[in-house]
Chain A
Amino acid sequence: MSKIYMDHAATTPMRQEVLDAMLPYFGTEFGNASSVYGWGRRAHQALDEARDTVAELLGAAANEIIFTSGGSEGANMAIKGIAWAYQTKGKHIVTSAIEHHAVLDSVLSLKKHGFDVTVLPVDEEGLVSPATVEEALRPDTILVSIMHANNEVGTIQPIREIGAIVREHGAFFHTDAVQTAGVLDLNVGDLNVDLLSLSAHKLYGPKGVGALYCRKGVRLEPLIHGGAQERRRRAGTENVAGIVGLAKALELARQEQGAENERLTTLRDRLIQGLQKIPATKVNGSLVHRLPNNVNVCFQYIEGESMLLNLDLKGIAASSGSACTSGSLDPSHVLLAMGLTHEIAHGSLRLTLGRSTTETEIDYVLQEIPVIVERLRQMSPLYQG
């Protein structure tokens, strides 16, 4: 068996069609989109077309799209941009305990500047309940930021319901859609969001480029000052090739997402059912409100990094929320927020499927994992097998 990549939530390989669309803008069409001559005009036109594509796919207007350097910048821009622009209206921000650190740390960084932060709990499946959002809202709440789907456990949040509550209350609502862009329908009207961030490299596009949707009339204080690009909301010569790649990747994903989601869901469920046969194994996240490509399990009595090393030796690339893999020596904040103990969170394994995943790969993984788990358990002082 050749190498098996099952970490598509971390990043995805770029598609050939995307690379082909980008290539001219590294070469002959190298112009600065702000220049008046032909090279500049053609670069500008490429940006306009990409912006139209992204806007249309989101059900937005072109002037509501700001190109960014990715999901992290989008989250920072939305959260800090709103905070600085509306701080005289209020200084309370609401988010959830399972957000990506790009959101969580952006929100928490504002505490130092006198903002008050409410971090909402989640249930054992990792769901944020709309009722807890409603309870958290205060007269001085200016922003709520809840992710569309979680990157570790794949739980899909009731964004539309939460959005309606937030709008009714008069606060702004941002959703981190990095894991759902190219997977689920993202219509900003249906979702009741004011701001939405996404990133190209999670949907077979290039790294280092993304977009933020910002509803017309919502003010943002820029993070990056300088030139007049992106209607003065984000200075800097545009990453034309990257932006063209983002639009192409989104467009392809939209065409294929229906059939691809169905295919991935079948493979995902085959993998989950196979892994559940291993004793003392827990599936994390919701089985109903779940991304089609996410599998996340905890194997009791063993540790995640040693599992990843063993999988790597078998040619399988995966990830874990174990403390030993985090660098910070704390296990995944997502798993802890879902009520898992440190010890259980230690044995977590995430397998995220993608375009390259086949049934043969799933079956190979299902053949190797039980052997690895048993081997590590035999070595574990916690296991009485």
Chain B
Amino acid sequence: MYSDKVMDHFTNPRNVGEIADADGVGEVGNARCGDIMKLWIKVDNDVITDVKFKTFGCGAAIATSSIITEMAIGKTVAEAETITNQQVAEELHGLPAVKMHCSNLAAEALGAAIQDYRAKLASNSAS
């Protein structure tokens, strides 16, 4: 039921792990089936230089987590913020209809990490 690309990212997920000195961390839960994804970003000069993730979820959740790290690295924060779940699914050559909600998880986690980065930036410049 999964594309070869999904299975590739599921069996060899890219960028699994944590970033100890991350510039932003996002954690989101999927209200629909109870899965959790946590994502760390490293930002240098407004460009995302590193992303790591940990995911508790199905094959699609792991594959979308993996691919979004690849999609985000090298993009500016503003560019990365526009990544949609639709784009994540397309990048994986499609997801089964019942699994589309899993791709929201990845896009939301990235969004949450960027928000956290911006909040930290704001509080740093304020102090």
Residues on A facing B (Cβ under 8 Å):
301-303, 305-306, 309, 313, 322-325, 327, 329-331, 342-343, 346, 378-382
Contacts and interface: CB of A to CB of B under 8 A. Distances in A.
A381 B28 CA distance: 11
B34 A343 contact: yes
Given A313-B11, A378-B16, A324 B37 contact: no
A24 B5 CA distance: 47
Given A343-B34, A379-B16, A382-B56, A306 B27 contact: no
A64 B44 CA distance: 78
B10 A381 contact: no
Nearest to A302: B56
B94 interface: no
Contact of A303 (B7, B16, B35, B54): B35
Contacts of A313: 11
Contacts, number: 60
Contacts of A381: 27, 36-38, 54-56
Contacts of B35: 303, 324, 346
Q: How many interface residues does chain B have, given as a range?
A: 20 to 34
A323 B54 CA distance: 19
Of A301, A378, A379, A380, most buried by chain B (CB within 10 Å of CB) is: A379
Nearest 9 CB-CB pairings of A with B = A324-B58, A323-B33, A305-B58, A381-B54, A381-B38, A329-B33, A309-B59, A380-B56, A342-B34
A330 B55 CA distance: 19
B74 interface: no
A79 B38 CA distance: 47
Contacts of A382: 36, 56
7 contacts: A306-B58, A306-B59, A322-B58, A323-B33, A327-B98, A331-B34, A343-B34
A183 B35 CA distance: 37
A309 B10 contact: yes
A303 B57 CA distance: 5
Contact of A324 (B11, B27, B57): B57
Contacts of B38: 381
Interface in B49-82: 54-59, 61-62
B106 to A, nearest CB: 13
Contacts of A331: 34
